[in-house]
Amino acid sequence: MRRLLVIAVLAGLVAAAVGLAWRWWTAPPRAPYAVLAAALAIAPEHADGALALAQPGRWVRWLASHPQALAPLRIAAPSADRSLARLRGVLVALAREARGPVTVWWSGGELAAGATVGGGAARALQRLAAIEGLPLSTGAAPGGALVTIASASPLLTRGSAPQPDGSGTLGALGRVRGRLWRVGVTRSSLELISGVPPALPRTDGTDLLATTDLAALAAPLTSAGWIPHAPAIVLFDPDGWAVSLPATELPREVERVLSFGGTAVAATPPGVARWRGLLGELWVRPGKGTAVASRPDLLAKLPVPAIAGESGSVGGPDLARACRRIAAACEHVPGGGGVAADLRRAAAALVGVRLARWRLVADGGGRIALEW
């Protein structure tokens, strides 16, 4: 009896230890605001954007389970991934050796990163950069050497901006086109806040988003060249979708895609064009701007207010379903195979996002929240 009790106690202790170790291993990254602000200040002011990441090792583990969290970064730096392949090996080594946050910044398609490392690690990174043919600079820093590596030499310029004020702990601190972003991370959510955060859109069962640049918003999903850089409102449900371009006539390229393989037919109600083509039956409302929908009731639901900022409330599974529906149609369009593949990859990732909500306003306030 005593042996069974000892075994039970030991098993309980082992289970508790494993649970604590797992919680420590999967804990989200965090660092004091002041530490992240000092790290962000090393990025040059002329960069398009910069991001200081707390505990880079934890970020790697967290992103492995939440790869969809990279979508906001893809929107902020749509071209930087062109340099990522060249820098990938050095970035991994820099993150592994960093004594504190890793700072990443970008300008156009060029990318750079910097962190404080030990003296031996700095020399090893210098050799690795020389092998890869990448520019690198080193400088003195408290507790080691500050190593900066880039895809182009102009990005090695040290920053001189004052450190932003703030307190508390964060997962990351970013600066993108004049906005300072505070990034909070939990096991099941990611929240980005800029300035005085506006209220997030309410969730009422309807997936709706409004944007001043549809192509930029769609960039994490697909690089399709026919998506217009224009204000847009998008609405969708499990069975259909609707898009309004209030300030843009329907581009001919988009019209050809929508009506490919079909013809215009009689419309009801009056003033609405009705197409049967590659995407099935479509309802188009021409006039000042353009609105297209897969059902007439969704066309009627499209709101008509002016688009002054960025906002949205979207369920990941619903958006994934819409991506797969459009991908199936794109596979039948000449040259549409690449777009279809992009959308199917995006759909596979979006399924894991329970809800995405965001609102950015003109005065600099912004809030983005992703929940899993």
Write the pLDDT tens digit of every residue in 314-341: 998 988 888 888 888 777 777 778 888 8
Smallest CA-to-CA distance from 218 within 234, 202, 203, 241 is with 234
End-of-domain residue from the set 194, 222, 239: 194
Please check whether residues 126 and 149 belong to one and the same domain: yes
Mean pLDDT, rounded, for 90-105: 94
Place 189 in a pLDDT band, splitting at 50, 70 and 90. very high
End-of-domain residue from the set 164, 194, 224: 194
Tokens of 41: 């200040």
Q: Which domain holds residue 52?
A: 31-194
Cβ pair 52, 174 in contact under 8 A: yes
Cβ pair 176, 49 in contact under 8 A: yes
Please check whether residues 175 and 215 belong to one and the same domain: no
- Between β-strands 310-314 and 263-265, what pairing exists: parallel, antiparallel or unpaired? unpaired
DSSP class of residue 100?
S
Task: Kindly report, residue by residue over 334-347, the tens digit of the pLDDT.
Answer: 777 888 888 898 88
Please check whether residues 96 and 173 belong to one and the same domain: yes
**CA–CA distance, 293 with 285 (Å, rounded to integer):** 9
The tokens 């690198």 sit on which residue?
136
3-state secondary structure of 266: coil
Please check whether residues 100 and 148 belong to one and the same domain: yes
Please check whether residues 217 and 171 belong to one and the same domain: no
**CA–CA distance, 277 with 289 (Å, rounded to integer):** 22
The tokens 């906005």 sit on which residue?
179
Please check whether residues 241 and 297 belong to one and the same domain: yes
Please check whether residues 265 and 350 belong to one and the same domain: yes
Please check whether residues 240 and 122 belong to one and the same domain: no
End-of-domain residue from the set 167, 194, 221: 194
> pLDDT: is 179 or 249 the higher one?
179
Task: Kindly report, residue by residue over 252-304, the tens digit of the pLDDT.
Answer: 656 665 655 445 555 556 667 777 766 677 788 766 778 888 888 888 888 77
Question: Is 20 within a domain?
Answer: no
Question: Is 294 within a domain?
Answer: yes
Question: Is 215 within a domain?
Answer: yes
3-state secondary structure of 324: helix
Q: How many domains does the chain have?
A: 2
Please check whether residues 122 and 157 belong to one and the same domain: yes
Task: Kindly report, residue by residue over 9-61, the tens digit of the pLDDT.
Answer: 444 444 444 444 334 445 789 999 999 999 999 999 889 999 999 999 999 88
Please check whether residues 120 and 253 belong to one and the same domain: no
Residue 122 has pLDDT above 90, yes or no: yes
Please check whether residues 51 and 94 belong to one and the same domain: yes
3-state secondary structure of 270: coil
